[in-house]
Amino acid sequence: MLISCFIFTQIPNILQKHSGVDKNFLFLPLFFRNVSFKMKYNIEFKGLKEGLHDFGFEVNNQFFAHFEESPVDNGNLEIKVTLEKRSSFLKLYLELAGWLELTCDRCLELYRQSVENSTEVFVKFGEGENDEGENIMWVSPEEHQLNLAQIIYEYAVLSIPMRHVHPKNSDGKRECNREMIEKLKKYKHAQAAEEVKTDPRWDALRKLGNNN
């Protein structure tokens, strides 16, 4: 078992050594999987008439797995996109709504945070940098489709509120795990008491007290 594991993990290195094949080349299946995933979020705009065009997309758990630094693993979002095509410009109107799974700051359990966000994005043709918060999407002049995966990801993350806490139920009470909150409180008290006990300043004071 160990030997076969070793051989398996070493295959790219061995092949690279003996054939000169780039190690990354051997991970092409992963590359293609990412490309085919992203293609689901394409809008073909070249053949469209001038005017407004509606599109719909969905985001689920698999979506976030494609973004290494994603602060979210699970979620479900619907994204409505209207593309405005004019002779002189392209503009996108995005509306996103659904839920994202977050960790509650009060009880540390996972909960579903309702989120929504809407934005307008100008499409510009050229080699500009896609800076955050600028609402501009740069696209190569030869391109005939827009890929929205990155922009959807960014607006999904931006829709996360600052405070992560369970929502309130119909009685107006938060759906937190009470037991867990109590445990956390006790733990904090115990920790604070421990800190006082081990604080060297207290030891110094005690010594002073003993000397008098």
The residues pairing with 198 across neighbouring beta strands, listed in sequence order, are none
Establish if 176 lies at the interface with Zn ion (CB under 5 A).
yes
> What DSSP element (H or E) covers 91?
strand 90-103
Are 50 and 42 contacting, i.e. CB atoms less than 8 angstroms apart?
Answer: no
- For Zn ion, which is the closer residue by CB, 38 or 106? 106
Q: Which two tokens stand for residue 144?
A: 């005939």
CB of 164 to Zn ion, least distance (A): 9
- Residue 109 or 120: which CB sits closer to Zn ion? 109
The answer to whether the CB of 166 falls within 8 A of the CB of 111 is yes
Per-residue binding letters, 142-171, with Zn ion (x by CB under 5 A)? ------------------------x-----
Among 72, 107, 115, 137, binds Zn ion (CB under 5 A): 107
Q: Kindly state whether residue 90 participates in binding Zn ion, applying the rule CB under 5 A.
A: no
In the list 92, 94, 104, 148, the residue contacting Zn ion (rule: CB under 5 A) is: 104
Q: State the Cα–Cα distance between residues 74 and 64, nearest whole angstrom.
A: 7
d(CA 145, CA 140) in angstroms, rounded, equals 10
Q: For Zn ion, which is the closer residue by CB, 107 or 139? A: 107
User: Among residues 77, 61, 53, which one has the least CA distance to residue 151?
Assistant: 77
CB 60 within 8 A of CB 152: no
Among the residue ranges 85-93, 118-126, 151-159, 173-181, the one whose residues contact Zn ion (CB under 5 A) = 173-181
Residue from 106, 112, 124, 164 in contact with Zn ion (CB under 5 A):
106
Place of tokens 């995005």: 94
CB of 60 to Zn ion, least distance (A): 23
Binding site for Zn ion (CB under 5 A): 104, 106-107, 166, 176
